[in-house]
């Protein structure tokens, strides 16, 4: 793969000499050979010129679900990675919510082998407990050796506090990272949306913010006792931000993430009973959205994620109470973040996080492997079915105006435009 990017505006705060400069970039055999103000295209090199062409390090998403194995009708690994590529992502963390669940080294090996040869790299999570039943720890060390980057019972609380204690102690032996989903199942009960005025008006069972915050407070107390590395995925309330911020000030090794849709939509969106808005954690209030955005800007919240969760139509086009929670989000991540933040902040959010999972971050420099995302920043368009490449179409961004467009990625000696 030999290509020349012409007049590309580089967005890379880590490289101050190149950041926000327009440069030609020559890439040969997957390596950045030259970056200069002007480069003549050598023989046999394809030239790429696009309107408002921007380039950054490849994007990263810390919470993506597909379906294979077991739920291929929702999304196969091959198609899912294609969606990630067309959405600008060169690395994704794959959630463990398949059938069978990846609770052994052989499952991890299967996932990695299925992803070989793609332009987007797949980094699997292993289940924290056997069959994600919350009883016995799975083969954590063996899975780490096989390529699992962390351990998570996807969207299931760790109800036994002693289990979390043991997991945090045990994983310190091999620098493992433990996920704990922030929701107390007993307080949640049969709730399906945020508990508040809207849930009362609609007659829907609510989930109080306290269900999330009590779980986080408990987990942070355990982390303080044990040490180790804890990640709290997809927080959704203002008090959750405060709790984690205080824990970081006290020196605890904790990170957290937030889903893009929890920054934008509130429970007011539920009034039409559209099941695409049924997500977990639930959409909260406007004040929660503001606190989450501030938490990202302040660095309390470490990562923003699409929380991409394909759900087939049979499980979504039913009564709201019976619909399965989840929304796809890879295709809409950039365009929605670009509305909330300036382009430098947006790209910083989309490129950070790899180190937490032991994934190497590429460098934007001559002689380095090309791991790049190409995009433009200014066009506005209404997100429609035509923008969705996922097998499942359950997006709560349908009908929303998004800003910017992904042109493609360059990674693993491949270019996808």
Residues 288 and 334 in one domain: yes
Residues 265 and 303 in one domain: yes
Q: What is the pLDDT of residue 178?
A: 98
Active-site residue, selected from the candidate residues 103, 307, 312, 381: 307
Cβ(219)–Cβ(232) below 8 Å: yes
pTM listed for this prediction: 0.96
Residue pointed to by tokens 């919240």: 301
Residue 394 lies in a domain: no
Residues 249 and 190 in one domain: yes
Strand partners, 23: 8
Q: What is the pLDDT of residue 251?
A: 98
Residues 49 and 100 in one domain: no
Residues 302 and 408 in one domain: no
Residue 393 lies in a domain: no
Residues 319 and 378 in one domain: no
pLDDT tens digits in sequence order for the chain, 417 residues long: 799 999 999 999 888 999 999 999 999 999 999 999 999 988 889 999 999 999 999 999 999 999 999 999 999 999 999 999 999 999 999 999 999 999 999 999 999 999 999 999 999 999 999 999 999 999 999 999 999 999 999 999 999 999 999 999 999 999 999 999 999 999 999 999 999 999 999 999 999 999 999 999 999 999 999 999 999 999 999 999 999 999 999 999 999 999 999 999 999 999 999 999 999 999 999 999 999 999 999 999 999 999 999 999 999 999 999 999 999 999 999 999 999 999 999 999 999 999 999 999 989 999 999 999 999 999 999 999 999 999 999 999 999 999 999 999 999 999 998
| Domain CATH number, residue 44 | 2.30.40.10
Residue 342 lies in a domain: yes
| Domain CATH number, residue 136 | 3.20.20.140
Residues 68 and 49 in one domain: no
Q: What is the pLDDT of residue 44?
A: 86
Residues 225 and 160 in one domain: yes
Q: What is the pLDDT of residue 211?
A: 98
Residue 128 lies in a domain: yes
Residue 27 lies in a domain: yes
Residues 20 and 80 in one domain: no
> How far, in Å, are 7, 41, 99 from residue 27 at the CA level?
14, 11, 40
Residue 330 lies in a domain: yes
Residue 143 lies in a domain: yes
Residue 113 buriedness (CB in 10 A; 0-12 / 13-18 / 19+): exposed
Cβ(394)–Cβ(328) below 8 Å: yes
- Geometric angle at alpha carbon 396, from 391 and 402, rounded to 5°: 100
- Count the Cβ atoms, other than its own, within 10 Å of residue 26: 20
Residue 182 lies in a domain: yes
Q: Please tell me the total number of residues recorded for the chain in this structure.
A: 417
Residues 45 and 64 in one domain: no
Residues 165 and 306 in one domain: yes
Total structural domains within the chain = 2
State yes or no: is 175 an active-site residue.
no
Q: Which range marks the domain in which residue 374 is found?
A: 2-55+365-385+402-416
Q: What is the pLDDT of residue 14?
A: 87
- How far apart CA 380 and CA 245 sit, in angstroms, is 35
Residues 24 and 104 in one domain: no
């Amino acid at each position: 793969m030999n290509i020349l990017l012409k007049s590309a505006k580089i967005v890379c705060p880590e490289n101050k000499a190149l950041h926000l400069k327009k440069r030609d970039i020559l890439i040969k055999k997957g390596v950045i050979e030259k970056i200069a103000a002007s480069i003549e295209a050598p023989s046999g090199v394809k030239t790429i010129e696009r309107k408002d062409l921007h380039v950054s390090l490849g994007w990263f998403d810390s919470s993506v679900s597909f379906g294979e194995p077991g739920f291929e009708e929702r999304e196969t690994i091959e198609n899912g990675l294609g969606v990630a590529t067309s959405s600008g992502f060169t690395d994704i963390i794959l959630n463990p919510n398949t059938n069978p669940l990846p609770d052994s080294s052989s499952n991890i090996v299967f996932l990695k082998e299925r992803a070989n040869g793609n332009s987007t790299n797949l980094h699997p999570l292993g289940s924290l407990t056997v069959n994600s039943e919350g009883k016995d720890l799975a083969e954590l060390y063996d899975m780490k050796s096989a390529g699992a980057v962390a351990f998570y019972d996807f969207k299931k609380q760790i109800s036994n506090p002693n289990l979390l204690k043991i997991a945090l102690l045990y994983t310190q032996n091999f620098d493992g990272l433990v996920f704990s989903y922030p929701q107390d199942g007993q307080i949640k009960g049969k709730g399906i949306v945020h508990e508040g005025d809207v849930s009362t008006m609609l007659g829907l069972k609510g989930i109080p913010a306290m269900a999330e915050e009590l779980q986080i407070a408990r987990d942070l107390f355990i982390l303080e006792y044990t040490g180790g590395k804890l990640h709290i995925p997809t927080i959704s309330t203002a008090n959750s931000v405060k709790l984690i911020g205080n824990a970081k000030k006290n020196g605890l090794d904790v990170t957290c993430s937030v889903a893009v849709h929890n920054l934008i939509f509130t429970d007011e969106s539920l009034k039409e009973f559209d099941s695409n808005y049924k997500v977990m954690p639930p959409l909260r209030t406007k004040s929660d959205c503001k606190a989450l955005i501030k938490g990202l800007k302040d660095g309390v919240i470490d990562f923003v994620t699409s929380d991409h969760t394909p759900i087939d139509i049979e499980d979504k086009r039913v009564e709201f109470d019976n619909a399965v929670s989840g929304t796809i989000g890879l295709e809409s991540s950039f365009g929605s973040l670009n509305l909330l933040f300036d382009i430098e902040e947006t790209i910083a959010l989309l490129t950070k996080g790899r180190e937490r999972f032991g994934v190497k971050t590429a460098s934007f420099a001559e002689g380095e492997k090309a791991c790049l995302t190409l995009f433009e920043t200014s066009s506005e368009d209404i997100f429609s079915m035509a923008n969705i490449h996922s097998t499942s179409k359950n997006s709560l961004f349908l009908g929303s105006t998004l800003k910017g467009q992904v042109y493609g990625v360059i990674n693993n000696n491949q270019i996808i435009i």
